[in-house]
Amino acid sequence: MTSTTKLAPATLPEFDVVVIGGGPGGYISAVHCAELGLRVALVERERMGGVSLGWGCIPTKAMLRYATIVDALRCEKIPGIRISGLTVDYAAVHKHSRDIADRLVMDVNRLLLDNNITVYRGHAMLAGATDVEVETMDALYKLRAKNIILATGTSAANSPLAAYGAHILTYREALDRPVLPDPLIVVGAGPVGLECATIFAAYNRETLLFESSDRVLPNEDHDISAAMAEALSKSSVKLHTSCEILPTSVHPDEPVGRRVALSVRNTVSGELRVHYAEAVMLAFGHVPNTRDLGLEKAGVVTDEHGYIVTDEYLCTNVPGIYAVGDVTGKPALASVAEAQAHYVAMQVSHGEGLRMPGNLAPVYANIPHYIYSSPQVAGVGLTETQAIARGREINIRRMPFKTSLAMNRSSNSFDGFVKVISDLDTDRVLGVHMIGPNVTELLPQLAFHGGHGVRADDLMHAIQSQAGLRDPLRHALRELEGLELHGG
């Protein structure tokens, strides 16, 4: 990492590329540009790695892994294993997750150093189509760049509830705490809310989960949502759907566990109830980090929600300025940001006015999605509702995990199924959706084949592992072909 000194106002260090934002989209763009021989600067105002490495994908997966183990030890009767007096230490697990995050951030810093990338720690603003101003703790730097890559990500949206103070938390604030509030209310039953509820409930914290939609995981296939609701009904997570959150009161002087009074109205029945908790975590809504970025000075266009508008090549309307990651409004996944980062680096290296062959449209159409809750959710492609809305005549097969052979019949976790949606005329697989233990392990193969418009018959023959998670998927595909031998 190149050290910097305070610059005279007339000094404008010139770079081939200036990247603003050090999350997955930003630091991978910077490294790949450097590998291609470009002179690169990266500006980041917080920790390298962004939310993904610091608070999201990586550290939470460590916490979720231990939560799953705790849940299994507490709930399952495992032949040959007897456990009594099980105790759990959330503070120790939390410290372990923070240690993982710290090590990953160090690795990213080392990667930047090894690739001779100049790093500025501060807030960046565009000062024109080729100029960037960086305000650090002790200086104001002015940089000039032939190309600029915007990778500033998103932040939790402001909510009226936030006005109630320290007992109203974003998911990042909740996960930063070594001691969990008890009881805890989570508002928003999408992927983030559900994963956090899984963590909290595993450590004996009473957890209430509220969702404004009429079902949990409202963006998933409706059968997956129904199965998740059933699974939650048997857990310590208490799910409430069709909820409208009304004005809330906070009472710091009340006993622990009753300091927040959350008023909730059921939008179907009209029933109004007050729920008490120690804290409320908000797990809904994100806004792009485009405020105070100087977009107007450079003339960069955003959409009505503030996301940066790009074409299929990740170019903004201003030549030489690109955008990657969550700030583009594409699916907010680190895997998407990484794919964009590699692509935009190649695009920049081609030079102004040239275009890479192909674009990212096929990537966006076949993005695997995964939720590390308990049970896990995974899938790729269209849901049943989406396929019908597009006028497709479809064939559907479901195969429960209890039909799997050695691996799943040796476990007490039989819940879940695989749902395969195919085109009735062409036999092309349109979508695969799963819920159950460890179903996220199937994602890479499904995403690869889904992106190539595979027929159900071809995918069936590609699934090789018999005594494992792929077994129910293979059986569902055989049913689509009329070849199934096993009964449900």
| Torsional class of 83: left (φ above 0), alpha (ψ -120 to 50), beta (otherwise) | beta
**Cβ pair 171, 283 in contact under 8 A:** yes
Phi–psi pair at 421, nearest 5 degrees: -115, 125
Rg, the chain, Cα only: 24
Q: Give the Cα separation of 238 and 186 in Å (integer).
A: 10
Is residue 107 pLDDT above 70, yes or no?
Answer: yes
Q: Give the Cα separation of 196 and 209 in Å (integer).
A: 10
Is residue 53 pLDDT above 50, yes or no?
Answer: yes
Mean pLDDT of the chain: 85
Which of 14-28, 76-90, 249-263 has the least mean pLDDT? 76-90
| Torsional class of 57: left (φ above 0), alpha (ψ -120 to 50), beta (otherwise) | alpha
Is residue 479 pLDDT above 80, yes or no?
Answer: no
- Work out the average pLDDT over 88-105: 92
Write the DSSP string, 212-258: SSSSSSTTS-HHHHHHHHHHHHTSSEEEE-SEEE---EE-TTSPTT-
Which band of pLDDT confidence, cut at 50, 70 and 90, is reported for residue 234? Answer: confident
Here the tokens at position 277 are: 């908790």
| Per-residue model confidence as pLDDT tens digits over 445-474 | 666 555 456 777 666 555 544 345 556 565
Phi–psi pair at 275, nearest 5 degrees: -115, 135
Pairing assessment for the beta strands 272-277 and 260-266 based on DSSP bridges: antiparallel
Phi–psi pair at 461, nearest 5 degrees: -75, -20
Pairing assessment for the beta strands 279-282 and 168-170 based on DSSP bridges: parallel
Reported pTM:
0.87
Which band of pLDDT confidence, cut at 50, 70 and 90, is reported for residue 362? Answer: low
What the chain holds in terms of domains, given with CATH numbers, is: 14-55+93-156+287-363 (3.50.50.60), 160-282 (3.50.50.60), 375-480 (3.30.390.30)
User: What pLDDT score does 58 carry?
Assistant: 81
Is residue 29 pLDDT above 60, yes or no?
Answer: yes
Is residue 487 pLDDT above 70, yes or no?
Answer: no
Is residue 481 pLDDT above 60, yes or no?
Answer: no
| Torsional class of 242: left (φ above 0), alpha (ψ -120 to 50), beta (otherwise) | left
User: What pLDDT score does 2 carry?
Assistant: 44
Element (H, E) at 393: none
**Cβ pair 68, 374 in contact under 8 A:** yes
| Per-residue model confidence as pLDDT tens digits over 276-324 | 999 999 998 889 999 999 999 999 999 999 999 999 889 999 999 999 9
On the 0-12 / 13-18 / 19+ scale of CB atoms within 10 A, 54 is: buried
**Cβ pair 349, 38 in contact under 8 A:** yes
User: What pLDDT score does 55 carry?
Assistant: 82
User: What pLDDT score does 10 carry?
Assistant: 45
Q: What is the 3-state secondary structure (H, E, C) of 378-391?
A: EEEECCHHHHHHCC
Is residue 9 pLDDT above 80, yes or no?
Answer: no
Here the tokens at position 44 are: 């980041």
- Any residues with CB less than 8 A from the CB of 15 and at least 6 apart, and which? 39, 40, 41, 118, 143, 144, 145, 146
- Any residues with CB less than 8 A from the CB of 134 and at least 6 apart, and which? 43, 120, 122, 123, 124, 125, 140, 141, 142, 143
- Work out the average pLDDT over 56-73: 84
418 SS3 class? strand
What totals of helices (H) and strands (E) does the chain contain, helices first?
15, 23
DSSP at 277: E
| Per-residue model confidence as pLDDT tens digits over 165-197 | 778 898 888 888 898 888 999 999 999 999 999
Nearest to 187 by CA among 206, 163, 166, 168: 168
